Structure 1
């Protein structure tokens, strides 16, 4: 139906009609088609924009996440006199520089997800730094950290680092995160005796070694590597959590000197037996899905007396695949006090 006003509209000549130009023909037939070249983009950062205008000079916490920042010096950090924490996550920073003006107070800097390719000497002035996050950048080497002797937490995940190096002076370090890099060998950690957490998942490590001196280590994470056995764990008497899923480990020998393990993840390996953990009397969570475990009798013999055990994962083993209808009940009979089997809590009768 047309309205009176529509009937009175003058007709536009063909010459005056705007012509539509189809720049992405795929969009006519594919509702999921993307057109990056013509997509709406966020406006570029105005070089005269003062991102610090809302921060008082005595601000201790400066958070500038996803602000399209390309240069740290351009921020004008010299206006601030008491910065303890600086968060510049998810920006477009390619170089670490311009931090000397806040080096006297800065304790925590977060440069996660930028475009940084090198650890420059500008880091050396940050002598009071305790936390440094350079995850999700483009780093190939660890450099210029020697003077950061107060550093406690160092995050270097998802870079392209091939060698653990340059950390010898960081004797206060408690947490080292280097997952998703290109590390082939665990090395150069002998001075880090205060280290409590070591995260090295998704690398190319084929052997656990050179960590026996880390007697304070509580968490060791090595999933998605190339391990074939559990070795080199001597001296880790305080270890509480061991994550070695998605490797090629064939048996659980090698845990004799780690009696305090509470969480053990051996998911997706080549295990045919869980013998080797009989002495882990404090174990709480045992995750062993996607192996070749088939004996409920062995499950009972090894785990029934573990009073602190709450959770087990055995799915995608012959234990479960050969009799899925009776699997959960058999696990409950083998470990009567268990609270959770796979992802499901055990309900009281």
Structure 2
């Protein structure tokens, strides 16, 4: 499931995101938060933006921004362009490899005179007012990570990244982009973040064959497509879109994690050709059952999150011997015998979530004891650790 401290926009938002720095998130710090998500802090709608697995951690300061693409912070100071003679980097070592200019009201990149930093590898310009990506070509051979999370970028212009062939990580989350385009020169790119933009289609990624992770949560995507050449992909994050069917991913044999929470799925399908899948997040959909074929070939699954669906019966997961975490809150499970039948033999299972099912709602006083009797190996039931 196991991104995104998701960088600060959610400074906790995007591990927004990188297993590098801010873009990654850990388990929630509070029990209540932990109860909501197997991977970290999440909104009430079930989406965690870039908040994801350890060691990523951060705190979402303006949760309303997740549901309102036009959101602007009413308490934020007015944006002021930095005059060309106001040198924010005057005291910076010319040989510096890492520059962070977070929330500095920057709107003009040329005024920063970045060409003087010939050894720069990581540039973080998060939470500014940048509209145009005007980076000096001199940075092209050295820069490995570029963070433009939470700016005002509307377009990716032709030629903007032509010289940046060594870039490994690009974060364009929380901008105003409608299209993925003009990134073909970034052939070394490993991680690409587009959280909370206005993207409707996965496209123009053919040349990015070294991508191992792409994060497209909170956009307007309806179909899983455009991934044909991304055979190195290990993580695919598509939460909070408008996807109705899992498809066009059978060729992604290196895929270890798929996140499709908060979409419009009604069934679990399209996974039979992914035997190496280890983490599947499909909470907050409209799935009604787990059919015998749904997860038949996904025997390496370690984390399965089916919370907040409409599944009436717990069945057809008995063959998932590698399960370590099973998140199944807010479904229709009512029979403890099903829990024991499907999960009792899972020696690696440590965490289960069944709250807000009839199992818990119909007998809250005895619920935990019954789960402990059925699954003596587990160490955590919902948000509470089991006392030894």
With the length of structure 2 as denominator, give the TM-score of the two structures.
0.78
- Counterpart CA distance in 1 for 2:317 and 2:227 is 27
- Shift of the 185–37 alpha-carbon distance from structure 1 to 2, 3 Å rule, reads closer
Match of residue 274 from structure 2? 236
- Counterpart CA distance in 1 for 2:123 and 2:252 is 31
Q: CA deviation at 1:44?
A: 6.0
Match of residue 98 from structure 2? 61
Q: CA deviation at 1:101?
A: 2.2
- Counterpart CA distance in 1 for 2:329 and 2:238 is 21
- Counterpart CA distance in 2 for 1:99 and 1:299 is 59
Q: Which has the larger radius of gyration?
A: 1
Match of residue 326 from structure 1? 366
- Counterpart CA distance in 2 for 1:150 and 1:48 is 35
Q: 1:114 aligns with which of 126, 151, 171?
A: 151
Q: CA deviation at 1:110?
A: 0.3
Q: CA deviation at 1:207?
A: 0.2
Match of residue 264 from structure 1? 304
Matched, 1:136 2:169: no
Q: Deviations over 1:302-332 (max 9, x none)?
A: 1000110011100000000111111111111
Q: 1:221 aligns with which of 231, 248, 259?
A: 259
Match of residue 214 from structure 2? 176
- Counterpart CA distance in 2 for 1:85 and 1:200 is 26
Matched, 1:102 2:150: no
| Cα-Cα RMSD | 1.7
- Counterpart CA distance in 1 for 2:331 and 2:170 is 38
Runs (4 or more) in structure 1 with deviation over 6 Å come to: 36-40
Q: CA deviation at 1:128?
A: 1.1
- Shift of the 37–119 alpha-carbon distance from structure 1 to 2, 3 Å rule, reads closer
Q: CA deviation at 1:260?
A: 0.6
Match of residue 114 from structure 2? 77
Q: CA deviation at 1:42?
A: 7.9
Q: Please list every run of 5 or more consecutive structure 2 residues that lacks an aligned counterpart in the other structure.
A: 1-72
Match of residue 312 from structure 1? 352
Number of aligned positions between the proteins: 313
- Counterpart CA distance in 1 for 2:189 and 2:77 is 42
Match of residue 89 from structure 2? 52
Q: CA deviation at 1:85?
A: 0.7
After TM superposition, the structure 1 stretch with the greater mean CA deviation from structure 2, 220-229 or 51-60, is 51-60
- Shift of the 229–132 alpha-carbon distance from structure 1 to 2, 3 Å rule, reads same
Q: Please list every run of 5 or more consecutive structure 1 residues that lacks an aligned counterpart in the other structure.
A: 1-35
Match of residue 247 from structure 1? 285
Partner secondary structure for residue 176 of structure 1: strand
Which protein, 1 or 2, shows the higher relative CO under an 8 Å CA cutoff with sep ≥ 6?
A: 2
Q: 1:281 aligns with which of 321, 342, 363?
A: 321
Q: Deviations over 1:150-171 (max 9, x none)?
A: 0000000100000000101111
